[in-house]
Amino acid sequence: MASIGVDIGGTKVLGVLLEESTVVRRVKLATPSQPADLAKSVENVVGELGGADSVGVGIAGLVQFPEGVFAWGPHVAGTRLPLRDQLEELLDVPIVVDSDANTAAYAEMTIGNGRGYSNMLLVTLGTGIGGAIVIGGRLYRGDSFAGEWGHMLYQPNGRQCACGKQGCWETVASGPALAALATAFVSENPSGSLSHLLSDTAITGKAVTQAADAGDEVARGLVTQVGADFGRGLCNLIAIFDPEVVVVGGGLGSIGESILGPARRVAADALHGAAHRMLPPILVAGLGPDAGAIGAGLMAQEVAENGIESV
């Protein structure tokens, strides 16, 4: 049964056409700046992919579930947007709308690196930090909005966050946080090797990780620093949930060991009662940054077959 999964992020709308659980086509558009255009852009993605028997959408932010109302999010414009209702009018197939972190977790628990675990945390590390909770093999959403640990207080009076508050965890562990560290370093060391490497490009998290991959020591140090702050926050989550596994996705998280290595070292050292327990495995997402879109498609298949209560 073919389904389409769509991941609406802060900058792009990614759609995948799935046959069973295999991606057979992808399409990417820019995220519209007007909330009123969001449903239309999903319709466009579905049209470009040729349609399907069911459509799932993951969106970055707070989503009322199962109603599929996008309540609000710091990275996508819109409030109280009845996205599921709008899409049901535009597309004559079963629709499910959830947070992008929940759809990513659904993919990882079904066909990714969370498969076989009963209790899993999915942490997305990209423009911000998102999260989803699997307990007893099922997504746990609380009253809808669970998993927003990117906005744990991490640095009292710290950097301004996109959410409007200060010092949230994602202000020190995210792509923009890595870019901010590099920007500060370059402005203080304008003749250094990193300045040279980044001189022809906008300083983004991705540019810094590429400089690190190219062997630049300063860039490596900055990636390690972000990995360490990521790990210190993971340590909080592990103390809170004592999960069997932590799976890390998102654009920055999916680069793997250069972030996860320092994260694991810090988490192992800082974990409450570390001498008397084991750190659970901290794994990279098996489906990489496409997990959100793939999971939305898998969730749509399940909803079409067994109803919304089944996911």
C-alpha atoms less than 13 angstroms from C-alpha of 165 in its C-beta half-sphere: 11
Residue among 241, 286, 288, 308 that touches a second copy (CB under 8 A): 241
Q: Which is nearer to a second copy, 21 or 118 (CB)?
A: 118
- Which tokens sit at 289? 């940054």
Residue 96 CB-density burial (10 A; 0-12 exposed, 13-18 middle, 19+ buried): buried
- What are residue 133's DSSP bridge partners? 121, 140
Closest CA to 103 of 250, 290, 297, 295: 295
- Which tokens sit at 310? 């089944």
The reply to whether 237 sits near a second copy by the rule CB under 8 A is yes
Residue among 153, 217, 281, 305 that touches a second copy (CB under 8 A): 153
- Least distance CB 308 / a second copy (angstroms): 17
Residue among 29, 90, 93, 270 that touches a second copy (CB under 8 A): 270
- Least distance CB 73 / a second copy (angstroms): 8
- Least distance CB 43 / a second copy (angstroms): 25
Q: Which of residues 11-50 bind a second copy (CB under 8 A)?
A: none
> Tokens 């535009």 belong to which residue?
90
The reply to whether 311 sits near a second copy by the rule CB under 8 A is no
Residue among 4, 62, 252, 304 that touches a second copy (CB under 8 A): 62
The reply to whether 141 sits near a second copy by the rule CB under 8 A is yes
Q: Which is nearer to a second copy, 237 or 311 (CB)?
A: 237
Q: Which is nearer to a second copy, 179 or 228 (CB)?
A: 228
Residue among 116, 201, 240, 305 that touches a second copy (CB under 8 A): 240
- Least distance CB 99 / a second copy (angstroms): 11
Other residues' Cβ atoms within 10 Å of the Cβ of residue 260: 23
- Least distance CB 194 / a second copy (angstroms): 26
Quick check: 104 and 58 in contact, CB under 8 A? Answer: yes
The reply to whether 160 sits near a second copy by the rule CB under 8 A is no
The reply to whether 191 sits near a second copy by the rule CB under 8 A is no
Q: Which helix (H) or strand (E) holds 79?
A: none
The reply to whether 90 sits near a second copy by the rule CB under 8 A is no
- CB within 8 Å of 241: residues ≥ 6 apart: 119, 121, 133
Write the single-letter amino acid at 189.
Answer: N
Q: Which is nearer to a second copy, 24 or 274 (CB)?
A: 274
Helix axes 38-48, 83-90, angle to 10 degrees: 40
The reply to whether 310 sits near a second copy by the rule CB under 8 A is no
Q: Which is nearer to a second copy, 66 or 288 (CB)?
A: 66
48/55 Cα distance (integer angstroms): 13
- # binding residues, a second copy (CB under 8 A): 46
Q: Which is nearer to a second copy, 67 or 244 (CB)?
A: 244
User: With b meaning 16 or more CB within 10 Å and e meaning fewer, what string describes 266-283?
Assistant: bbeebbeeeeeeebbebb
The reply to whether 193 sits near a second copy by the rule CB under 8 A is no
- CB within 8 Å of 60: residues ≥ 6 apart: 8, 9, 10, 73, 75, 76, 99, 100, 127, 128, 130
By the criterion CB under 8 A, which residues form the site for a second copy?
62, 71-73, 79-80, 119, 131, 135-136, 140-149, 151-156, 163, 165, 232-233, 235-237, 239-244, 270, 272-273, 275-277, 280
